[in-house]
A and B are shown apart, each in its own frame.
Chain A
C-alpha cells in the first residue's frame, strides 16, 4: 500500500489550519452583502417589537382574555410597539411634539453627535477587518487616546486651533501606538490580535485608572476622584450649531475620516496591499508584499481612527475631564457598526448613524414610554447575531446564496 504524498506542505504549524478556517469565517461575515445587513436590521426590529409587546403590562393583561376579545390584545400591542418606536424616532430624528422647529430638530443633532465617535471607531475596526484582523481593542485604544488628548487639553496653554489640533493628534498617536502594538506583535511573533487586543483593553484600562488616581499623573489636584481637570476652552471641539445644540466638530472629523479611509482602501497602493493581505495572505506574500508590515500599518491606522473617537469624547462630548468611562461602550459598539457597515467606509457611515440614533432615541424611549433602554441593546445585539448568521437571514428572506 502506498503512503500518501499529497500533503502539500508537510510541516504545518499547529493551529495554522484552524486559523485559516476562522479567517475564512471572519471574511464571510465581514463581506456579507448589503441585503443581509438590511434584513438583519429589519429582523432585529421585528424581534424587538415582540419583546416590547411582552414587556408591556397592558399587552400582558389583554393577553389574559385574548380568546374573548382578541382586538384588545392587538390594539394594546400596536399601541406599545408604535409608542416605543415612535418615541425612538422622536428621540433620534425629529420631535413632532416640540413647540418650535429648533427644539424639534434637536434629537437629530444628538444622533449626529453620538454617531461621530461610532463612525470613527467603526472605521478603525472595519479597516482591520479588511486586512482580516479582528480589532477588539477599541476600548483600550480609546482610553489611551482619551487620556493623551485630555492631558494635552488641560495641561497646556496654547491658542485655540493649535491647542485643539495638537490634542487631537496626541490622541490619535496614542491610539495608533496601542493598536499598532497588537499589529506589531502579530507580525513579529504570530500572536493572535484578538487575544492581544483584549488583553491590551485591560492593560489600558488599569493604566489610565492608575494615572487618574495618582496625584502626580492625571488626577486633578486636591481631588480624591479618579478624574482629571476639565479641558481648556482652547482645546475643545467647537459646537457646530451654537450652544443650543451639543453637536460639535467631532462629527465633521468623522466624515473626513470616512473619506480618507475610502481613499486609502480604494485608491491607494497601501489599500490594495491591505485588501490583498486580507483576502489571501499567502498570495500576497508570494507577490512580494510584506504581510507582517501590512498588519502593523493597518493596526496603526486602525488605532489612530479609534483614537480619534477617544479624542472626540474627551474634547467634545464630555469636556469636564478624563474618566475611565470615557469610551462609553463605543469601543465595542464599533465592532457592531463595522459589521453592519460590511467594513466599507460608506456602509460604516450609515451604520454609525443608525447606532447613533439608537443611542439618542433609547433614552427618550425609556423616559416617555417606560420601556427599558435595554430593549435597544437587545436590538443592537440581535443585529450582530443576524449578521453573523447570514445563512439564517438568507433562509428567512429567501435571498440567493452568494455562491450559487
Chain B
C-alpha cells in the first residue's frame, strides 16, 4: 500500500509541531524519518495513526484520502504502529495480547483464543520470529516483546508499518535482529516508516531518508550520505562527529583501585576483584555489554554501594567506607547513567538542580539558609556557559529535553573543583548536537589534568573518548587495551574472550 502525507500541519497552541510536512512511502520500501528529539517525528506519526487530528493537510492511502477519527480507523485502513513503549498487557499471553481489541468471538461471545494462537504461529513462522503464542509477555525479553507488537500489527493485515524509535530499548544484538525483520517485511511488500535519531541504523536499512528539523522537512537524503552530512541536516549546522582531542598530558596516578569487589544484598558478585589506575589527565573508558558490572563499579566509586571490599584511593585518600557526601566533597564528580532517576529532581527548578549536591555548604547555604541571590547568579551563568536551552533558570528540570537535562547534570558536576570525574553513559538518549558538546566538555576536563572514568555501552563513544579502554565482562576485567584496538577485537573482548597481547 502506498502512503502519502500531503502538507500535514499540526499546531499545539502557538507551537507548530508539524509544518506542512509531505512524505511518500511506496510499498516494499523502508522510509526513514530522521530528526532530533522534539523535531516533530512522533507528532507526525500520531497524526497518521489517528491519535491527533491534523489542522491542515491530508493522509492518502493508495490515492484515497483518509479521514481518521481514531487509531481504530487507522488500523482498519491498514496502518500498524510499533510504539516505543510497548502497548502490551504484561500478564497476558502473546496470543491474548494479539487478539486484544480485535477479539474473535464464537458462540455467545466466547473468545476464540485458538484462532489467535493460529494467527501468531502462522505469522511467526512466515517471518521466522520464534514467538511462542502461549508465553506470558512479561517473561519475554524486550526484543521478543517488540516482535509481539509487530505480530499484533501484522495480524490486522497492516500494509503500512510505523516503527517509532524501536531500537531505544534494544541491545545491539536485538537491534541487528530487528533490522533483519524490517528487511523481511519490506520484501513482503510492506511500506515501512522507521523513526529514529540514530545515524548508523538509518544508513543500514533505509531506502529513502527524510530529515525533519523543528517540525519541517529540511531535506531528503540517500542512504549513501555520510554520517556527517546526515547529522548536519538534522542539527542544522555542521557537526563534529569525531571528538577532537590531542594526545594526553599524563600526570601521576591519581585513582588507584585495588581488588575491588562489589556484592549486592542477595550475595551476587557484580564487580569481582578488579584493579586499575587512572592518571591525571587521562580518560579510561570502560567498555562492555550492559549489565556486566559497570553500574556497580561507578556506584561503588561514589559510595552508593553497600557491600564493597578492596581499596579505592584518590590522591592518597581512601574512599571505601566513606559516605556519598564525603566522597563528593573529596572532589569526585559523577554523571549517573540514568539522569532522570539519579541525576535530577524533575519537579525542582534548573537552579535548584544546579545546587543539588551542594545543599549543605557555602556558597549556596549559609547558617542553614538558602542563598537565593547567589544561586540565581550562579545558575544564570551556568545556563549560558553550558548552553542549556531552557526558558529560564526557574523552569522545572523535568520539562527539558533529554540533551538539555544531561547538560544540566554535566554543568553541575563540572562546575565543582574536581579531582576525579566519573561519567556513566554520558550521552545516552541525547541528541547529536548535545553529544558533541558533552564530549568536548569531557575532553576539556581531561586536559585540565583531571582523571576521567567514562562508562559507555556505545563502542563509538568509548573509542572516541578513551586514552585507554578497559573491557568488563561479568564483573571481571577482560583487558585494558589502547584506543586503536580494532573494533572486532573489542567486540570479542566484550564477550569475555581475551585476545593475545592484551594486558589485564
Contacts and interface: CB of A to CB of B under 8 A. Distances in A.
Contact of A284 (B327, B345, B346): B345
Nearest to A7: B291
Given A4-B171, A9-B295, A269 B323 contact: no
Contacts of A285: 304, 324, 342
B342 A286 contact: yes
Residue of A8, A13, A286 ringed by the most chain B CB atoms within 10 A: A286
B302 A286 contact: yes
Contact of A288 (B130, B142, B357): B357
Interface string A251-284: 0000000000000000111101101100110111
A284 B302 CA distance: 13
B239 to A, nearest CB: 28
A3 B174 CA distance: 9
Contacts of B372: 267
A269 B369 contact: yes
Contact of A4 (B143, B329, B352): B143
Contacts of B264: 11
Interface residues of A, number: 32
Contacts of A287: 324, 328, 356-357, 359
A273 B348 CA distance: 11
Contact of A269 (B295, B334, B348, B365): B365
Residue of B291, B328, B344, B369 ringed by the most chain A CB atoms within 10 A: B291
A269 B347 contact: no
Interface string A277-305: 00110111111111000000000000000
Contacts, number: 111
B290 A6 contact: yes
A267 B334 contact: no
B325 A288 contact: yes
Nearest to A271: B370
B151 to A, nearest CB: 15
A5 interface: yes
A283 B356 contact: yes
B338 interface: yes
B338 A8 contact: yes
Interface in B294-313: 295, 302, 304
Nearest to A284: B345
Given A5-B289, A283-B341, A288-B328, A269 B370 contact: yes
B323 A286 contact: no
B266 interface: yes
B304 A273 contact: no
B348 A276 contact: yes
Interface in A377-391: none
B169 interface: yes
Contacts of A283: 341-345, 356
A276 B291 contact: no
A189 interface: no
A198 interface: no
Counting chain B residues whose Cβ lies within 8 A of the other chain, the interface size class is: 35 or more
Nearest to B324: A288
A272 B352 contact: yes
B268 interface: yes
A5 B288 CA distance: 12
Contact of A280 (B141, B344, B365): B344
Interface in A1-37: 1-11, 13, 31
A282 B342 contact: yes
A8 B339 CA distance: 13
Given A11-B264, A269-B360, A286 B324 contact: yes
A5 B370 contact: no
B106 interface: no
B14 interface: no
B260 to A, nearest CB: 18
A11 B265 contact: yes
B346 A2 contact: no
B177 interface: yes
Given A2-B173, A3-B141, A288-B323, A275 B370 contact: no
Interface string B22-51: 000000000000000000000000000000
B144 interface: yes
Contacts of B173: 2
B501 interface: no
A270 B347 CA distance: 17
Given A268-B369, A288-B328, A2 B359 contact: no
Interface in B80-115: none
A400 B427 CA distance: 34
Given A2-B173, A269-B370, A273-B359, A31 B347 contact: yes
A313 to B, nearest CB: 31
Interface in B231-271: 264-266, 268
B368 interface: yes
Contacts of B369: 267-269
B368 A270 contact: yes
Contacts of A267: 369-370, 372
Nearest to B172: A2
A279 B347 contact: yes
A268 B370 contact: yes
A3 B177 CA distance: 12
B433 interface: no
A280 B356 CA distance: 11
Given A269-B359, A273-B359, A5 B345 contact: no
A268 B302 CA distance: 26
Nearest to A280: B345
B133 interface: no
B346 A290 contact: no
B370 A2 contact: no
B336 interface: yes
Interface string B152-171: 00000000000000000111
Contacts of A11: 264-266, 268
A6 B368 CA distance: 41
A286 B304 contact: yes
B137 to A, nearest CB: 13
B141 A1 contact: yes
Interface string A166-207: 000000000000000000000000000000000000000000
Residue of A3, A4, A8, A284 ringed by the most chain B CB atoms within 10 A: A4
A275 B344 CA distance: 12
Interface in B109-123: none
A289 B347 contact: no
B290 A5 contact: yes
A279 B372 CA distance: 20
B368 A276 contact: no
Nearest to B264: A11
A270 B304 CA distance: 21
21 contacts: A1-B141, A4-B171, A6-B142, A8-B337, A9-B295, A11-B268, A267-B370, A267-B372, A269-B359, A279-B348, A282-B341, A282-B342, A284-B345, A285-B324, A286-B304, A286-B343, A286-B357, A287-B357, A288-B324, A288-B325, A288-B328
Interface of B: 130, 141-144, 169-171, 173-174, 177, 264-266, 268, 289-291, 295, 302, 304, 323-325, 327-329, 334, 336-338, 341-348, 352, 355-357, 359-360, 364-365, 368-370, 372
Interface of A: 1-11, 13, 31, 267-270, 272-273, 275-276, 279-280, 282-290
Given A2-B177, A272-B352, A286-B342, 7 more contacts: A3-B141, A5-B290, A7-B291, A31-B347, A268-B368, A280-B344, A280-B346
Q: Which 9 A-B pairs have the closest CB atoms?
A: A287-B357, A4-B141, A288-B325, A269-B365, A287-B356, A5-B291, A2-B173, A280-B345, A288-B324
